Chains A and B, each alone.
Chain A
Amino acid sequence: MSERDKVLGHADEADGIEEYDNPLPTWWLGLFAGTVAFGIGYAVDYHFVSKRSQAGEYAAELAAAPKAPEATAVAATPDAIAAGKEIYTANCVACHGPDLHGGVGPDLTDATWIHGGKLDEIAHIITVGVPEKGMLTWGPILGPQKVGQVAAYVHSAGGGQ
């Protein structure tokens, strides 16, 4: 017990608390040195060797992502309308109401079509949304096929032009 567990003798100046002056645990020093070395190495590598960046990471992920399917012509078949109704019920009722009479969003059954009432105009506005009014950009969420189906449903049930 030479180095170990020798008290410093400050206790009378620390409300009776004794202190040993034990050496730093080796593994602790190793951990400290290791994180410092890793930190420096990482920073040098990230910015100067591998030259990585947030913008680069985004570009790489985008390039690796599956390409969005080509937009297909919207066809108002009975199958598409039935599928569109389901999509409408899951995503649209909160704003446009269960019977398309509107609420937060505009009525889809009246004669007024703010952004146009043709089938492809309805599909377009669903795809890009109306962010300034709070309507989401549904294109990337639903994909072109489902957008086409829900547009077909809205067009037929709502009486589009």
Chain B
Amino acid sequence: MEAAPLSAPRYDDASVRRFITATVLWGIVGMLVGAILALQLAWAPANLGLPWTSFGRLRPLHTNAVIFAFTGNALFAGIYYSMQRLLKTRMWSDTLSSVHFWGWQAIIVLAAVTLPLGMTQGKEYAELIWPIDLLIAVVWLVFAANFFGTIAIRKVKHLYVALWFYMSMVITITVLHVVNNLALPATLTRSYPVYSGMTDALVQWWYGHNAVGFLLTTPILGLMYYFLPRAAQRPVFSYRLSIIHFWALVFLYIWAGPHHLLYSALPDWAQTVGMVFSLMLLAPSWGGMLNGLLTLRGAWDRLRTDPILKFWVAAITFYGMSTFEGPMMSIRAVNALSHFTDWTIAHVHAGALGWVGESVFAMLYYMAPQVWNRKLHSVSLATTHFWLATVGIVLYVVAMWTAGVTQGLMWRAFDEAGLLQYPNFVDTVRTLNPFYWIRLLGGLMYLGGIIVMAWNLYKTATSDSSNALEA
């Protein structure tokens, strides 16, 4: 998928093209594994009776693939593309860009091999074993050096808002990854965390929640601040709002992790901190939503024809919804019902498929024609992708909300004698089964959408020069 670069060779668009290709390929893999897992939950024989294909081993493969492979590569593509243009300079070092790209893909391949083999640290979203964790740290620091090196050699004075959001990711993810993975190696594949018991759990969820915050939220907001006004050709609604919601968001996010440990052995005061900081995150999150939607003032008519803007509006709407739902779920009384149920699955997928996925798709449809210097092969296929994705998410999320609330209510139902009304776990599983099939259908639609996109982008990248954006 190599083609002539668009503009002056001063920008490194070859790296952007590589990251885009990796995003699409790993996106298909990660979502395919997701669909297999959805099938396994609805129909157990799909586990195939083999350890390597069982739910417990494939589930971390799915989460790691969509978070670090699909989203990770997408973030790098968008950041490499936008930061060079915002700072009017090429990336600081082509060597580091190359090491960053190939190093990151090597990590993904190692993850795809070790997780099905059952090699894990047992920490959610930090399952990878210690040698891979070391490699992640090295590659991440290579990226950080390239990132800050590029800022250092910039040709403009002002740092546009998108760059603050990227910076918060680069700095915070470094700290989170290192602190949560501190461990004493026992063998090449096994290690023991330096923390124990409740401390370990608290560090883990401080990491887990902020991986959501600083990998799936702030960098995507940064990308929104670049790609949305570029696509809409409208000024950003409010610079002031962007400053205030940025600082409020990064300050409050880092304290919210304990909401994953409500009603656990965590001390009450720490649970209160987690709940209260999560509630206070509502307005800072909505500040991003407002700045996104209000930037579209004067461009709403183009929503009818432009799939990129359709994706942005849907993504930002799902962002607003998820960031309302999250604080609600952190309230003790609500969490008592929602915790451990499929409601949590509904919440993360509204965020991951809706906010992250649809933002990434909007960005790819904007960026790919630019870096391959070809008109988008088919606008109508992109629109088809939009409807497949959006209807797929709605089916998925509504099915899991219903399943989650049903599950929570069944678990806490007592009869008049004070005995559990559904003492057998399998009773709930039987009740939820139809919703699991609906979830699979929604997931398959979403997967179908990304395959349509892959074809569309492939045709775009490989079309001949008569389709060039510029002569």
Contact = CB atoms under 8 A, between A and B. Distances in A.
- Chain B interface residue bracket vs A: 35 or more
A50 to B, nearest CB: 12
Given A43-B276, A143-B419, A14 B86 contact: yes
Contacts of A2: none
A89 interface: no
B268 interface: yes
A22 B156 contact: no
A5 to B, nearest CB: 8
A54 B263 contact: yes
Given A54-B263, A66-B418, A69-B417, A13 B157 contact: yes
A47 B226 CA distance: 44
Contacts, number: 120
B235 A20 contact: yes
Interface stretch (B281-289, B380-388, B459-467): B281-289
Interface string A45-79: 01100000110000000000111110000000000
B416 interface: yes
B340 interface: no
A19 B287 CA distance: 15
B196 interface: no
A116 B289 CA distance: 67
Nearest to A94: B426
B239 A20 contact: yes
A24 interface: yes
Interface stretch (A27-35, A103-111, A123-131, A150-158): A27-35
A24 B238 CA distance: 8
Nearest to A66: B418
Nearest to B281: A35
B239 A65 contact: no
Contacts of A13: 86, 156-158, 160
A32 B284 contact: yes
B417 A18 contact: no
Nearest to B82: A15
Contacts of B272: 42-43, 46-47
A77 B277 CA distance: 60
Nearest to A46: B272
Which secondary structure dominates chain B's binding surface? helix
A23 interface: yes
Interface in B103-162: 156-158, 160-161
Contact of A18 (B236, B279, B282, B416): B236
Contact of B279 (A19, A21, A38, A143): A38
Contacts of A134: none
Contacts of A69: 417
Given A36-B280, A47-B272, A141 B240 contact: no
A114 interface: no
Contacts of A36: 280
Contacts of A7: 235
Given A7-B235, A31-B286, 15 more contacts: A13-B86, A13-B157, A13-B160, A14-B156, A15-B230, A16-B230, A18-B236, A22-B241, A28-B241, A31-B282, A39-B276, A47-B268, A54-B271, A68-B417, A68-B418
Interface of A: 5, 7-8, 10, 12-25, 28, 31-32, 35-36, 38-40, 42-43, 46-47, 53-54, 65-69, 90-91, 140-143
Instruction: Give 4 nearest A-B pairs by CB, closest first.
Output: A32-B283, A18-B235, A66-B418, A39-B276
18 contacts: A10-B158, A16-B230, A17-B160, A17-B235, A19-B238, A20-B238, A21-B239, A22-B237, A22-B240, A24-B240, A25-B290, A28-B290, A32-B280, A36-B280, A43-B272, A47-B268, A54-B271, A68-B418
